[in-house]
């Protein structure tokens, strides 16, 4: 085969245009309250055989391999950018949703689709396993516009980061025929083995990587993000070589690395986020290319709607309820967690496994999953803010009168908080000295009307002011809690002491 430079030039041009269009589409999807995956999938469909460009792509094995690579990158970014302090209180429920919840969901979807749609048991169980995991990219692209307490965001974040691993193992075992030859106990033991060993390898790589990176003196700051991602992927490779879960390993390793005191953490997280966005764009566009719109008929649509109905109305709520045994929550919280279990790229990627293995009916399975993801993402995504208000789960620790953003100051182990005082905030009229911030924290600058001033203790804060607050990293949570308390109560906050644990959550 000869190398055609012209074809390469065209490929680069088309790739750049598609990627830029996908990046700009994030703005549109965020404004509409929709996960950007829908636009990316649409771009892929338009580029594919059913669209005006008619680019042929039917290589399921390549899609499977590239999809797993993209998911690994997305999980690594999720681990690197997750704050363990916020996830830790909810980790029990997150792990339970990723294990008990997945098992309950698979069973209920399999039974429902077998009897309602007449699917053979093998395809019904496969469909249940494929549809069970939630997707981090889909969930948090919507949750960015929904102010939720940390107890809920921690659960959703932990679940979406951990539930890929068991479902990948289960779908792989069924697709290769191993499950048909082994008993239930053997299958369950295989899943437990892969998760535990993968998690342990992730812990080992994460701790060793953190120790190495904290002592390495690399000649350029740009090398640190690359090195950290390589350490995370080393965990993935070692786990896969040991026949364990690479997804569990890479997420755990990235979680440890992301919460360690490493040099250039800001650059590392920014780099990982950019690479993850690129992986998401490529993944969704590729999955859209893989779809053959000509295969989708009324039967496929009906099957997708019934599957999604069983999953959303029956399997998801009951799996959340069963998982809450290990960490009970009030019903309104469990209700929101049930509705926020968005599906995205993960189920579609999992549907490429039976395609690659040549399972009978895999084409129909892929089409059902694709249609279901699109329809139910359109249904549940835009309604999440409304459901949050209806259930009363909007975060009391994130009052509308105060916006806080944080940027790490790595060299002094401190954070720089940017605080915006909205017109509804009771911080209006409060003097800087009356904030009574924790020891070591201080208001370093006030920006008012386009001008900046260095505040004194008697400087009176006004609505519309932007404050730059420097706080030691260990005091950040207490500093934010104090700022929010003053924003809610004004001068009266000085008599109220520390905010309650419930408010912080």
| Same domain flag for 373 and 325 | yes
The answer to whether residue 267 sits within a structural domain is yes
The pLDDT tens digits along the chain (505 residues) read: 454 666 677 778 877 887 887 777 766 665 555 567 777 888 888 887 766 667 777 777 888 888 889 889 988 988 888 878 878 888 899 889 988 999 999 999 999 999 999 999 989 999 999 998 887 666 666 665 667 787 888 888 888 888 888 888 888 888 887 766 777 777 788 888 888 999 999 999 999 999 998 887 777 778 888 999 999 999 999 999 998 889 899 999 999 998 887 777 778 888 888 898 888 888 888 888 888 777 888 999 999 999 999 999 999 999 999 999 998 889 999 999 999 887 877 888 888 899 888 888 888 899 999 999 888 888 887 788 888 888 888 754 444 455 555 556 656 677 888 888 888 888 888 999 888 899 889 999 999 888 888 999 899 999 889 999 999 888 888 898 889 888 888 877 655 544 444 444 4
| Same domain flag for 353 and 422 | no
Domain CATH number, residue 75: 1.20.1530.20
DSSP H helical ranges for 295-383: 298-309, 316-323, 331-339, 345-350, 352-357, 362-380
Instruction: Report the C-alpha gap between 289 and 60 in whole angstroms.
Output: 11
The answer to whether residue 330 sits within a structural domain is yes
The answer to whether residue 476 sits within a structural domain is yes
- What domain range is 273 assigned to? 60-391
CA distances from 160 to 167, 259, 312, 348, 357 (A): 12, 18, 16, 15, 26
| Same domain flag for 426 and 354 | no
| Same domain flag for 386 and 439 | no
| Same domain flag for 119 and 144 | yes
Last residue of a domain, one of 360, 391, 422: 391
Last residue of a domain, one of 391, 419, 446: 391
The answer to whether residue 37 sits within a structural domain is no
| Same domain flag for 379 and 298 | yes
Q: Structure pTM? A: 0.75
| Same domain flag for 143 and 270 | yes
Residue 455 φ then ψ, to 5°: -75, 155
| Same domain flag for 203 and 347 | yes
The answer to whether residue 35 sits within a structural domain is no
The answer to whether residue 69 sits within a structural domain is yes
List of residues 6+ apart from 65 with CB closer than 8 A:
none
User: How many structural domains are present in the chain?
Assistant: 2
| Same domain flag for 363 and 431 | no
List of residues 6+ apart from 462 with CB closer than 8 A:
421, 428, 429, 448
Domain CATH number, residue 407: 3.30.70.1450
The answer to whether residue 13 sits within a structural domain is no
The answer to whether residue 411 sits within a structural domain is yes
Please give the radius of gyration of the chain, using alpha carbons only, rounded to the nearest integer: 24
List of residues 6+ apart from 444 with CB closer than 8 A:
454, 468, 469, 470
HEC per residue, 388-420: HHHHCCCCCCCCCCEEEEEEEEHHHCEEEEEEE
Token couple for 3 = 């190398």
Query: What is the bridge-based pairing of β-strands 466-472 and 451-453?
Result: unpaired
């Amino acid at each position: 085969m000869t190398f055609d430079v012209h074809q390469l030039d065209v490929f680069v041009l088309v790739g750049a245009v598609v990627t830029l269009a996908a990046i700009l589409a994030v703005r549109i999807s965020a404004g509409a309250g929709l996960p950007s995956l829908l636009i990316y999938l649409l771009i892929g469909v338009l580029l594919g055989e059913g669209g005006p460009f008619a680019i042929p792509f039917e290589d399921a094995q390549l899609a499977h391999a590239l999809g797993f690579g993209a998911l690994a990158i997305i999980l690594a970014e999720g681990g690197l950018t997750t704050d363990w302090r916020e996830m830790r209180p909810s980790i029990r429920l997150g792990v339970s949703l990723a294990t008990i919840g997945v098992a309950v969901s698979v069973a209920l979807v399999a039974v429902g689709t077998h009897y309602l749609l007449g699917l053979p048991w093998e395809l019904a169980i496969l469909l249940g396993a494929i549809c069970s995991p939630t997707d981090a990219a889909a969930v948090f692209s919507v949750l960015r516009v929904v102010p939720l307490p940390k107890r809920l965001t921690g659960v959703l974040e932990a679940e979406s980061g951990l539930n890929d691993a068991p479902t990948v193992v289960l779908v792989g075992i069924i697709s290769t025929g191993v499950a048909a030859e082994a008993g239930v106990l053997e299958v369950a033991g295989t899943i437990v083995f892969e998760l535990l060993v993968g998690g342990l390898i992730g812990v080992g790589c994460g701790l060793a990587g953190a120790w190495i990176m904290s002592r390495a003196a690399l000649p350029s700051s740009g090398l640190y993000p690359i090195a950290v991602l390589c350490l995370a992927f080393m965990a993935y490779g070692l786990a896969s070589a040991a026949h364990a879960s690479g997804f569990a390993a890479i997420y755990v390793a990235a979680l440890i690395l992301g919460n360690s005191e490493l040099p250039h953490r800001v650059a590392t997280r920014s780099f990982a986020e950019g690479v993850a966005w690129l992986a998401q764009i490529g993944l969704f566009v590729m999955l859209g290319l893989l779809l053959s719109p000509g295969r989708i008929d009324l039967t496929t649509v009906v099957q997708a709607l019934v599957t999604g109905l069983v999953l959303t109305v029956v399997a998801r709520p009951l799996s959340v309820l069963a998982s809450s045994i290990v960490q009970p929550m009030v019903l309104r919280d469990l209700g929101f967690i049930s509705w926020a279990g968005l599906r995205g790229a993960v189920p579609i990627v999992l549907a490429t496994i039976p395609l690659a293995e040549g399972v009978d009916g895999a084409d129909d399975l892929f089409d059902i999953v694709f249609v279901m993801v699109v329809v139910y993402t359109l249904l549940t995504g835009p309604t999440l803010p409304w459901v949050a208000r209806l259930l009363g789960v909007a975060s009391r620790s994130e009052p509308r009168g105060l916006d806080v953003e944080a940027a790490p100051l790595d060299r002094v182990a401190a954070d720089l908080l940017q605080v915006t005082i909205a017109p509804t905030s009771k911080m209006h009229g409060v003097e800087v000295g009356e904030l009574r911030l924790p020891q070591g924290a201080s208001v370093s600058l006030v920006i008012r009307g386009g001008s900046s001033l260095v505040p004194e203790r008697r400087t009176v804060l006004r609505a519309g002011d932007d404050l730059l607050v420097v706080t030691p990293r260990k005091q950040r949570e207490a500093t934010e809690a104090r700022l929010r308390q003053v924003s809610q109560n004004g001068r009266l906050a000085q008599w109220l002491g520390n905010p309650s644990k419930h408010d912080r959550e």
